[in-house]
Amino acid sequence: MTETIRAARPGDEAELTAMVHELADFEHAASECTVTETQLGSALFGPQPTVHAHLVEVDGQAAAAALWFLNFSTWDGVPGIYLEDLFVRPQFRRRGLARKLLATLARTCVDNGYTRLSWAVLDWNVNAIALYDGVGGAPQSEWITYRVSGPRLSALAAESG
């Protein structure tokens, strides 16, 4: 079995988009996932990329992916990585691929002087939580994540004039 972890490149949009949709299904939110190959391709490889990705191939087959972007710590004064999605296809689970992807992102942080690798996890995803605990992740229980989207986002935007 040959495993390869590499940065995404043009042509990977179909597999990455498929995995994002598979993740949405796993998270019981398939109806909320509307991303297209074109959108993801533009976000990854357009003139101003807004997301990055790593892909794991096992014997040439797309097995897992991590999609991430840079954030910025005002306290540290340097960027960090925010891991938006980490997904391992079911037939490739329990092989350490998620941990290897996390290690790859940690290496990216260290090599670039970034001080943080951050992510969120659904509270019911006990397997992911066990992995994150195992790699030294620390839950930030003092923080509550907020989001505004859809009609509420539009309503808030309307307040700006």
Read off the pLDDT of residues 8-32 as tens digits, 9 standing for 90 and up: 999 999 999 999 999 999 999 999 9
- CA distance linking residue 11 with residue 14, whole number of Å: 7
Cβ atoms 64, 93 nearer than 8 A? no
**3-state SS, residue 1:** coil
Residues, the chain: 161
- CA distance linking residue 93 with residue 73, whole number of Å: 33
Q: Per-residue pLDDT averaged across 110-114, rounded?
A: 98
Select from 127, 160, 120 the least CA-distant residue to 144: 120
Range of the domain at 111: 3-158
Residues 6+ apart with CB under 8 A from 148: 156
Select from 48, 57, 50 the least CA-distant residue to 12: 57
pLDDT for 107 beyond 90: yes
Question: Which band of pLDDT confidence, cut at 50, 70 and 90, is reported for residue 1?
Answer: confident
Question: Which band of pLDDT confidence, cut at 50, 70 and 90, is reported for residue 161?
Answer: confident
Count of domains forming the chain: 1
Cβ atoms 61, 18 nearer than 8 A? no
Mean residue pLDDT across the chain? 97
Question: Which band of pLDDT confidence, cut at 50, 70 and 90, is reported for residue 114?
Answer: very high
- What pLDDT score was predicted for residue 40? 98
Encode pLDDT of 27-72 as tens digits.
999 999 999 999 999 999 999 999 999 999 999 999 999 999 999 9
CATH number for the domain that contains residue 135: 3.40.630.30
Encode pLDDT of 138-150 as tens digits.
999 999 999 999 9
Query: Which 8-state DSSP code applies to residue 141?
Result: T
Task: Please provide residue 76's backbone torsions phi and psi, each rounded to the nearest 5 degrees.
Answer: -85, -25
Q: Which residue has the tokens 């910025």?
A: 72
> Is the pTM higher than 0.85?
yes
The 8 Å CB, 24+ separation contacts for 119-122 are 119/82, 119/83, 119/84, 119/86, 120/145, 122/27
Residues 6+ apart with CB under 8 A from 84: 51, 67, 68, 69, 119
